[in-house]
Amino acid sequence: MSSAAKPGPASVSGSLCLTMLILILAITGIIGTVQVSTPPVVEAEIGKPINIPCVPEISTPSTMKYVQWFVMEKNTRQRIYFQDGESSTVDNGTDYTGRIRVNKNYTLTIDHVKLGDERTFLCQVGAGPAGSGEATTELKVYGAPEVPEIIPTEARVSVMKINPSDIALCRTRNGYPAPNITWYKDHTPLQATTKINHKMYVMSKATQEPNGLYTIESTLYYLPEKKDKDSKFYCEVSYRMPSGVDKMKESDRFSIPVTYPTENVEFLIQPSVLKEADNMTMECKSDGSSPVEYTFYRVRDGKEEEDLESNGNTIEINGVKRMDSGIYGCRVLDLEVEDKYFDSNKTIIINYLDPIGLKPKGPYIFTDGDRDVNVSCDAKGSQQTSVVWTKHKKTVVSFMNVLRLPVVTFDDSGNYICKVTVPSIPNLTRQKSISIVVKGPPEVNCTEKKFSKNGPHFNLTCMFKGNPAPEVTCNVKQAPTIRYHQNNYIVVSELIVPLTEERLNLMCNGANVYGSTTHNLTVYRGSMTVSTRGPPTADVSHGRSSGGVVIVVIIVCILLLAILGAVLYFLYKKGKIPCGRSGKQDITQTDAHDDIVVEVKNDQKVPEETVLLQGVNGEKKPPSDQGEEGICRPSE
């Protein structure tokens, strides 16, 4: 920086005049004083603008004022700005040419503060006869450093070492003033010293670059312990900014590649529960990080060890068998600890389930009506088993190992599955299927229905069960409609005939090699109408055992009518029932009874004996049997 210019002849003459003027004013007693104040210290951030205020105090009014700003360079001053009245100028050839300005309050503004701006600035104010005053400000410059970078060591560090190892280097650049670096482990500052010791210390270096900014490097020397394997280390750079604000920046986290000897060994088996045909994986895990050697073995006969080939710390055996059960283990040799072995073993059980055995072995062919038929299903396993019998793959018929059929029927025919499982072992199961065949003569079950379609018709549907499936034939005089449906051991015949005669005899027969059965039926034509009081009825007379039942029903009905007549006659004689024409009930109308028939749906089972009778032998009772006056009812 250039020094102050030497005064010329004109300036000397001006100074003498000014001195004489001050002397005259002092003599007359009207001279004043000028005092200037500026902040002692102003802090600025590199690259940003800063203001330095200058406040003059003049004891007497004066129109003669001038302001000058200087920078101090060692013991000399260099002017950078001058203002006299309304004219002002920024001095050329200085570091501040084009970078400063002064407002009307004499405040100096410096744009784009540089590191070299850290110096003393002087403000001088003159007020003519009152004289002049000046004050200085120290400008402090601050620059924020870059985020610190971590350069960790690549070598593994053993806890078995005696002296600390070089763990990592922390570096931060372009800070001013020189910042500080602190090391942390898991958010806790390390109390590291700069003195070399046997536990932990740091070595730091500060370098001022050509641009005047600082680069700080700090190397951490540390003797790790086993617990440090999971710790996170990092460094922090702390620095100060204007207005006394302390700030910090942190580096990335890193872990120390710690090696430590083995202390414990764990022997693992996958899957944890084994069964025959599984693939078994054995793994040996040590809690150390130092180099080790693994050995797998099996104990035979309770004492002899057999070495097993392995690949590192694992070994796999495919398709294990029950004979593979036994004691297995692994052994670890830590290479950092001489002659130090670690051992772990387990007893392995291979679960199994034998093939299913059935008693009797079959074939399972039975006769309809057989009693106390049993089929047992058993399978031996390494643990408790559970048995379930199902029919047609979904219907459970037994939770025991024995399938019991107290009385064999045709409905017992079909496919059965015996499934044996070991509940405690997933997917350990076996199953076997059998087919039960029931043979025997046919059985028959028939339903009848009378209906009208272009005249009265009758439907006889019979279901024959037998094995082999029976051959079914139906006979009738009229031209019938006959349909046959067959499903395994069941044959269904559907006979439809028109009722063109008063009496019709029907017959259906089913036969196989074991026998035959016949269903005979006599149908009376009668009349057909639809009754609103109940389902239609059919005048039918069944063959075989149904005739005796019909006779019993007729006799019971006659007895009930006789009892009812006697009760009514007794009440009439006692005067309990007054009679008159108004109480007579007209029962000569036959429309309400002539057309009542029985209608049985095909899907319902109705006993052959269920018929509605309209008199003995199917004949209607004439109205004259009711008496001349009809049936009396109580007068209202």
What are the pLDDT digits (tens) for 347-381?
Answer: 999 999 999 999 998 899 999 999 999 999 999 99
- What is the pLDDT confidence band of residue 549, given thresholds at 50, 70 and 90? very low
Q: Is the pLDDT of residue 235 over 90?
A: yes
Average pLDDT of the residues in 450-457: 86
Question: 479 or 277, which is more confident?
Answer: 277
Look at residues 314, 334, 2 and name the one whose alpha carbon lies nearest to residue 160: 334
State residue 251's pLDDT score. 96
pLDDT for 182: 96
Q: Are strands 326-334 and 292-300 parallel, antiparallel or unpaired?
A: antiparallel
Nearest to 185 by CA among 215, 227, 154, 157: 227
pLDDT digits (tens, 9 = 90+) for 177-212: 999 999 999 999 999 899 999 999 999 999 999 999
Query: Do 458 and 497 touch, CB atoms closer than 8 A?
Result: yes
Strand-pairing partners, residue 172, are: 216
pLDDT value at position 539?
A: 37
Residue-averaged pLDDT of the chain: 81
The neighbour count for residue 72, using CB atoms within 10 Å, is 15
To the nearest whole percent, how much of the chain has pLDDT over 70? 80
Averaged pLDDT for residues 452-469: 90
Tell me, what amino acid is at 99?
Answer: R
Please count the other Cβ atoms lying within 10 Å of the Cβ belonging to residue 624: 8
Q: Are strands 386-391 and 395-398 parallel, antiparallel or unpaired?
A: antiparallel
Instruction: Fill in the DSSP letter of residue 227.
Output: G
Residue 311 has pLDDT above 90, yes or no: no
Q: Which residues contact 53 (CB under 8 A, 6 or more apart)?
A: 38, 39, 105, 106, 107
Cis peptide before 152 (omega within 30 of 0): no
**Residue 403: pLDDT band by 50, 70, 90 thresholds?**
very high
H or E element, residue 209? none
**Residue 387 pLDDT exceeds 80:** yes
Residue 24 scores a pLDDT above 70: no
Q: How far is CA 281 from the centre of its chain?
A: 28
Strand bridging mode 364-367 / 429-452: parallel
Where do we find the tokens 């019909």? 550
Name the percent of the chain lying above pLDDT 90. 55
Q: For residues 403 and 396, what is the distance between their CA atoms, to the nearest angstrom?
A: 11
The dihedral through the CA atoms of 324, 351, 274, 304 has a sign that is negative
- In this model, does residue 534 exceed pLDDT 90? no
Sorted by sequence, the CB contacts under 8 Å of residue 138 that are 6+ apart come out as 40, 41, 42, 119, 120
Strands 350-351, 456-467: pairing kind:
unpaired
pLDDT band at 540 (very low <50, low <70, confident <90, very high): very low
299 beta partners: 305, 327
What does the pLDDT average to over 389-398? 87
For the ranges 12-16, 257-261, 583-587, 623-627, the maximum mean pLDDT occurs at 257-261
Which tokens sit at 177? Answer: 């003033």
What is residue 575's predicted lDDT score, i.e. its pLDDT? 66
| Helix (H) / strand (E) containing 265 | strand 265-270
Q: Tell me what pLDDT residue 351 has.
A: 95
Lowest average pLDDT, out of 30-39, 64-73, 287-296, 570-579, goes to 570-579
Q: How large is the average pLDDT for residues 301-329?
A: 90
- Residue 544 scores a pLDDT above 70: no
pLDDT band at 113 (very low <50, low <70, confident <90, very high): very high
Condensed to tens digits (0 to 9), the pLDDT of residues 55-89 reads: 999 887 776 689 999 999 888 999 999 998 888 99
> What's the rounded Cα separation, in Å, for the pair 124 and 110?
17
Query: Which residues, 6 or more positions from 627, have their beta carbon under 8 angstroms from its beta carbon?
Result: none
- Of 395-404, 461-470, 526-535, 562-571, the least confident: 526-535
- How far CA 144 is from CA of 113, 170, 533, 616, 626, in Å, comes to 13, 16, 108, 126, 129
Residue 582 gets the label, from left (phi > 0), alpha (psi -120 to 50) or beta, of: alpha
Is 455 or 13 the better-scoring residue by pLDDT?
455
- For every residue of 310-361, DSSP letters joined together read -BTTEEEESS--GGG-EEEEEEEEETTSTT-EEEEEEEE-EE-BPPPEEES-
**How many other C-beta atoms can be found within 10 angstroms of the C-beta atom of residue 432?**
15
In angstroms, rounded to a whole number, what is the distance separating the alpha carbons of residues 415 and 19? Answer: 138
Whose CA is closest to 284, among 325, 324, 328, 347?
Answer: 328
* Encoded tokens for 435: 């087919």
